[in-house]
Homo-oligomer: A and B are copies of this chain.
């Protein structure tokens, strides 16, 4: 299983509209991607703090898609890449860190 992580760094001047992201962008992403083979789940988080209370989080927001394989994710994502990327300026000016991960433990 793979987890595809989209991480929005907490950089100076970063803009991030959680209202649009949670009410519009992510529901659209989930609707488009979750119907494809291999979709296993999704989570979205808002960064609260770093290791110590009150310290800034490294990432403003994070999103993780769980799929059976990287190929399944790409087959789900690529047909909608233009629409989903096109919506990004509506909620952020951040260039996200994207990473494919192999899931080793899931409980």
Contacts and interface: CB of A to CB of B under 8 A. Distances in A.
Contact of A101 (B2, B46, B53, B104): B46
User: For chain A, what secondary structure do more than half of its interface residues adopt (helix, strand, loop), or is it mixed?
Assistant: strand
Contacts of A104: 18, 22, 44-46
Interface string A35-75: 00000011111111111010001110010000000100000
B107 A51 contact: no
A83 interface: no
Contact of A43 (B30, B34, B48, B107): B107
Contacts of A43: 3, 103, 105-107
Contact of A47 (B41, B44, B46, B101): B101
Interface of A: 2-3, 5, 7, 18, 22, 26, 30, 34, 41-51, 53, 57-59, 62, 70, 97-107
